[in-house]
């Protein structure tokens, strides 16, 4: 078909929206609530255009033969400005404490349309803040009712966020249903255009560990962070920034900076052993457990699958345990004098470090988790020039991982590493459906059916299939976030499928230069087993954990002053 946009004739396809056509033809139409990951709600009405003389939302209006579209006019700009001013009336500004901060689309739009932010009375200044465990906070006074969070929560198969009538407004609230609970995946954070969600303590508590006196401060960096943090400083999506990050973390006080990809190598070795044991003992399927949001999803929604979770701890927990119980002794420091901070792409990791099951006696392997966003904000506040920072290698003994360890940052990395570690062969995966790849491999005469899934909604379908046929897949890797950790809830914004693709490419690029490919061939891994992980009791204490059925967690509600309301 053909339509006219701003007087120019363009070809279009049936079913396309005006916004899709405009994007393909490099025509600017401002948007706010639109996100390619969620269904179109057309709630913000910033993308208004004129179609055949009528004002319509470009994101939801489909083209038709002969349509004439105008994207800019005095009438259109006036409507956009009014809609934006109304949105600001239900958005309490707290720009210094917002994940969007200097990259705020609402403020950019206000400048573009000369909108008066405070022209209407703020209607939500008394709305509460909800605190979800140790991971997540939702400030409903900032919510612009776009419902992206509700849609992504439903898409994730969690359905924890819901709508509740509040006069003429619709308020997003946590579900009170006993069979619904937050799993802390953080996808609500990265899909909210208004900064209503953030990690617990994000931006406010980042200075605390750096003020502790007489402590050896250890930073450890998750694989995915190296391919994302550069975005915060104007570097291209996926730009490998591990060495710059090491330099900057030392500049703010880090004594040692380690690579969690080494922890991933330990996870691979232990998970490989457990897989072979389960195959031999016919205790299948085995489910990965690196992703704490996935683990919480199992523990709350599908407790019958708890025995199927591998008992191996996640990489940063293993590495934190090795730092405190092994390295501290080697360098002559008491374990109580070591502070371990994990730099993570994930907000669920904040909850993970509080789990009793991961402790070594009474010792927490990891003391703090900082998201990619938190670390970037800290650097900015300290006026550290990340973009032009020199390159420094991560410190030994935990600084040189295998390429398999680096691959943990993207969907498929865990399983591919384990199978490659066992067989020395690459499994050939085929896309079964969106979000799910499968492979059939042979090992010692056994056919193993492998499945890699990302996005909890997609993982939920796999669990339902396993309920019908417990051996449809023998080994399942699941990550809660789209694309895996590169799309984690603690990562930089904005985020969409195109950005995740570039991050994955950058992560793969940063792993290509590793001399060692298999985890079990890594000299660091082998020497640590020889020096410290000598017997099964120590291995179990450092590398393995357990799980239990979760009851619905308590959601704390406070007013804007921080006073409890429940």
Q: Taking a C-beta distance cutoff of 8 angstroms, is the pair 320, 365 a contact?
A: yes
| 498 and 451 share one domain | yes
Last residue of a domain, one of 57, 72, 87: 72
Q: Is the pLDDT of residue 480 over 90?
A: yes
Q: Which pLDDT belongs to residue 96?
A: 85
Q: Which two tokens stand for residue 438?
A: 């499968």
Q: Which pLDDT belongs to residue 167?
A: 61
Q: Taking a C-beta distance cutoff of 8 angstroms, is the pair 88, 117 a contact?
A: yes
* SS3 call for 189: helix
Q: How confident is the model at residue 74 (pLDDT cuts 50, 70, 90)?
A: very high
| 100 and 66 share one domain | no
Q: Is residue 219 part of a domain?
A: no
The span from the CA of 510 to the CA of 238, in Å, is: 10
Q: Taking a C-beta distance cutoff of 8 angstroms, is the pair 318, 542 a contact?
A: yes
- In this predicted model, what pLDDT tens digit does every residue of 228-244 receive, in sequence order? 999 999 999 999 999 99
CATH number at residue 414: 3.40.950.10
Q: Which pLDDT belongs to residue 512?
A: 85
CATH number at residue 186: 3.30.70.20
The span from the CA of 543 to the CA of 539, in Å, is: 6
Q: Is residue 105 part of a domain?
A: yes
- In this predicted model, what pLDDT tens digit does every residue of 26-65 receive, in sequence order? 999 999 999 999 999 999 999 999 999 999 999 999 999 9
* Cis peptide, bond prior to residue 397, ω within 30 of zero: yes
Sign of the CA dihedral running 297, 298, 302, 303? negative
How many independent structural domains does the chain possess? 3
| 107 and 199 share one domain | yes
Place of tokens 């591990």: 242
Minimal CA–CA distance to 217: which of 368, 322, 358? Answer: 368
Q: Which two tokens stand for residue 435?
A: 């979000």
What phi and psi values does residue 494 have, to the nearest 5 degrees? -75, 170
Q: At what angle do helices 260-281 and 315-322 cross, to 10 degrees?
A: 110
* Residue 321: count of CB within 10 angstroms of its CB: 25
Query: What DSSP element (H or E) covers 190?
Result: helix 187-191
Query: What DSSP element (H or E) covers 94?
Result: none
- In this predicted model, what pLDDT tens digit does every residue of 277-301 receive, in sequence order? 999 999 999 999 999 999 999 999 9
CA–centroid distance for 47 within its chain = 28
The span from the CA of 75 to the CA of 174, in Å, is: 39
| 415 and 288 share one domain | yes
Q: Taking a C-beta distance cutoff of 8 angstroms, is the pair 31, 59 a contact?
A: yes
| 63 and 101 share one domain | no
What percentage of the chain has pLDDT greater than the value 70?
Answer: 99
> Please, which contacts does 527-530 make with residues 24 or more away whose CB atoms are closer than 8 Å?
527/397, 528/266, 528/322, 528/326, 528/397
Q: Taking a C-beta distance cutoff of 8 angstroms, is the pair 120, 88 a contact?
A: yes
Cα–Cα distance list, 162 to 133, 143, 173 (Å):
18, 13, 5
Q: Is residue 372 part of a domain?
A: no
| 175 and 103 share one domain | yes
Q: Taking a C-beta distance cutoff of 8 angstroms, is the pair 217, 253 a contact?
A: yes
| 474 and 432 share one domain | yes
Q: How confident is the model at residue 206 (pLDDT cuts 50, 70, 90)?
A: low
Q: Is residue 292 part of a domain?
A: yes
Total residues belonging to the chain:
566
| 300 and 404 share one domain | yes
- Letter string b/e over residues 332-350, b meaning 16 or more CB atoms within 10 A of that residue's CB: ebebeebbbbbbbbbbbbb
Q: Which pLDDT belongs to residue 566?
A: 85
The span from the CA of 133 to the CA of 485, in Å, is: 21
Minimal CA–CA distance to 61: which of 34, 83, 86? Answer: 34
| 173 and 310 share one domain | no
Minimal CA–CA distance to 255: which of 398, 395, 400? Answer: 395
* Residue 221: count of CB within 10 angstroms of its CB: 26
CATH number at residue 50: 3.10.20.740
The span from the CA of 295 to the CA of 214, in Å, is: 36
Minimal CA–CA distance to 297: which of 187, 412, 139? Answer: 187
The edge-to-edge listing of strands for the beta sheet with 197-199 is 197-199, 136-139, 129-132, 555-558
For residue 561, the 8-state DSSP code is T
- In this predicted model, what pLDDT tens digit does every residue of 411-462 receive, in sequence order? 999 999 999 999 998 899 999 999 999 999 988 888 999 999 999 999 999 9
Side-chain half-sphere exposure of 115, counting CA atoms within 13 A: 26
Q: Which two tokens stand for residue 371?
A: 């998201």
Q: Which two tokens stand for residue 460?
A: 């939920």
Q: Taking a C-beta distance cutoff of 8 angstroms, is the pair 34, 59 a contact?
A: yes
Structure pTM? 0.95
Cα–Cα distance list, 65 to 2, 28, 57, 61, 175 (Å):
6, 22, 18, 13, 44
Residue span of the structural domain in which 527 resides: 257-338+385-543
| 197 and 62 share one domain | no
| 34 and 140 share one domain | no
| 484 and 515 share one domain | yes
Q: Is residue 460 part of a domain?
A: yes
Q: Is residue 127 part of a domain?
A: yes
Q: At what angle do helices 536-543 and 315-322 cross, to 10 degrees?
A: 120
Q: Is residue 369 part of a domain?
A: no
Q: Is residue 320 part of a domain?
A: yes
What phi and psi values does residue 367 have, to the nearest 5 degrees? -90, -40
Q: Which pLDDT belongs to residue 169?
A: 66
- In this predicted model, what pLDDT tens digit does every residue of 517-554 receive, in sequence order? 999 999 999 999 999 999 999 999 999 999 999 999 99
């Amino acid at each position: 078909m053909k339509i006219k946009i701003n007087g120019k004739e363009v070809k279009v396809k049936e079913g396309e929206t005006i916004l899709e056509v405009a994007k393909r033809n490099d025509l600017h139409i401002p948007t706010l609530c639109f996100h390619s990951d969620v269904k179109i709600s057309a709630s913000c009405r910033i993308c208004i255009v004129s179609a055949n003389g009528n004002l319509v939302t470009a994101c939801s209006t489909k083209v038709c033969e002969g349509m004439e579209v105008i994207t800019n006019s005095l009438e259109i700009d006036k409507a956009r400005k009014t809609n934006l001013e109304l949105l600001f009336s239900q958005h309490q500004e707290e720009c210094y404490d917002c994940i969007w901060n200097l990259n705020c689309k609402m403020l950019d739009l206000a400048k573009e349309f000369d909108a008066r932010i405070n022209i209407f009375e703020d209607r939500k200044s008394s709305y509460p803040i909800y605190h979800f465990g140790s991971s997540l906070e939702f400030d409903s006074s900032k919510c612009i009712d776009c419902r992206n969070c509700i849609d992504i929560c439903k898409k994730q198969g969690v359905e924890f966020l819901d709508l509740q009538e509040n006069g003429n407004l619709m308020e997003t609230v946590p579900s009170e249903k006993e069979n619904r609970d937050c799993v802390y995946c953080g996808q609500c954070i990265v899909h909210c255009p208004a900064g209503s969600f953030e990690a617990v303590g994000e931006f406010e508590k980042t200075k605390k560990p750096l003020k502790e006196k007489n402590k050896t401060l250890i930073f450890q960096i998750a694989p995915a962070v190296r391919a994302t943090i550069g975005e915060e400083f104007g570097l291209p999506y996926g730009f490998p920034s591990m060495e710059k990050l090491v330099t900057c973390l030392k500049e703010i006080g880090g004594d040692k900076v380690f690579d969690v990809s080494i922890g991933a190598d330990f996870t691979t070795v232990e998970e490989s052993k457990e897989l072979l044991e389960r195959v031999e003992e016919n205790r299948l399927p085995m489910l990965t457990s690196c992703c704490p949001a996935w683990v919480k999803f199992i523990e709350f929604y599908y407790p019958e699958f708890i025995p199927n979770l591998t008992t191996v701890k996640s990489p940063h927990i293993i590495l934190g345990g090795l730092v405190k119980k092994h390295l501290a002794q080697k360098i002559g420091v008491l374990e109580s004098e070591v502070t371990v901070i994990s730099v993570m792409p994930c907000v669920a990791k904040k909850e993970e470090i509080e789990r009793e099951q991961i402790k070594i006696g009474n010792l927490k392997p990891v003391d703090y988790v900082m998201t990619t966003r938190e670390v970037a904000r800290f650097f900015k506040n300290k006026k550290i020039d990340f973009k032009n920072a020199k390159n420094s290698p991560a410190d030994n003994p935990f600084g040189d991982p295998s390429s398999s360890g680096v691959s943990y940052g993207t969907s498929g990395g865990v399983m591919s590493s384990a199978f490659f570690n066992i067989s020395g062969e690459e499994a050939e995966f085929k896309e079964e459906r969106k979000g799910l790849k499968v492979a059939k491999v042979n090992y010692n005469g056994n056919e193993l059916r492998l499945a890699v899934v990302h996005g909890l909604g997609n993982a939920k379908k796999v669990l339902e299939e396993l309920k019908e046929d417990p051996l449809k897949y023998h080994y399942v890797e699941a990550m809660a976030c789209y694309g895996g950790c590169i799309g984690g809830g603690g990562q930089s914004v904005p985020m969409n499928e195109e950005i995740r693709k570039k991050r994955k490419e950058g992560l793969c690029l940063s792993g290509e230069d590793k001399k060692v490919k298999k985890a079990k061939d890594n000299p660091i891994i082998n020497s640590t087993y020889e020096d410290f992980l000598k017997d099964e009791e120590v291995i179990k204490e450092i590398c393995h954990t357990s799980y239990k059925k979760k009851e619905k967690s308590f959601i704390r509600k406070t007013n804007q002053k921080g006073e409890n309301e429940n």
